[in-house]
Structure 1
């Protein structure tokens, strides 16, 4: 583990019901927002210091129609690394997506959508190595 990672936000929710869980970095202007809009789940990476649109990138988490146990209660948690530059989304304790803001990189298990090339040169492909950042 790098610096001490901590859970900064969590909520109980049901997949397919509108939910928003947001958490700002404890150290800087970065922020992540998990949103289930009833059809899809996404994790957004933001920089609150940017003028205009603060969204840096978006990571697809799931399509509600494809979640087999959506009727069961779930728990979403947002973890920040000790340096406040990396964030991880856990759903029911399972890592689904992460942002490494310092490296300008997002990771998600669906590798979708294509990343914003103005922000990153990397794909959204998942790698378990990202877990070593926490």
Structure 2
């Protein structure tokens, strides 16, 4: 997977976690959040001048009760593509979600929630082939 590793952080699923990463080339950012019940990944646009953050899209990563106890401790990694227009969320060396800022797409393994009217307009299913194409 080619890209820029911008954030890497140890975490435990089910514990309050907030990991943010901002593109160095445009006004996009992403946030991974675990609120102790669920994990979500957000696509964010940062307004020039004010720094105000507008959420463009969000994808569901997990419900804590569905994560086996022996798999909760691990590492969150955020990788940006070399053109700074795609960003992936990797947990324990597995890509769970990708945002494609150029084409306004948010993709995750469980396809939840349904696409919103603001940004993603179509299929949400993230496949291994998509991950390879995004970061090749």
User: Does residue 114 in structure 1 map to residue 110 in structure 2?
Assistant: no
Show CA shifts across 1:12-61 (max 9, x none): 01110000000001210110000000000000001112887600000000
The more displaced of 90-99 and 47-56 is 47-56
Q: Who is 1:6 aligned against?
A: 4
Alignment partners' CA distance in 2, 1:90 and 1:71: 14
Q: Is contact 2:16-2:35 (8 Å) kept?
A: yes
Number of aligned pairs? 132
- Note the residue ranges of structure 2 that are not aligned, 5 or more in a row: none
C-alpha change, 1:71 and 1:26, in structure 2 (3 Å) is: same
Let me know the Cα RMSD of the aligned residues: 1.8
SS in 1 for 2:65: helix
Show CA shifts across 1:97-123 (max 9, x none): 000010100110110011212212123
Q: Which residue of 14, 17, 21 corresponds with 1:16?
A: 14
- Name segments (4+ residues, structure 1) moved above 4 Å: 50-53
- Note the residue ranges of structure 1 that are not aligned, 5 or more in a row: none
C-alpha change, 1:43 and 1:72, in structure 2 (3 Å) is: closer
Alignment partners' CA distance in 1, 2:91 and 2:71: 14
Q: Who is 1:89 aligned against?
A: 89
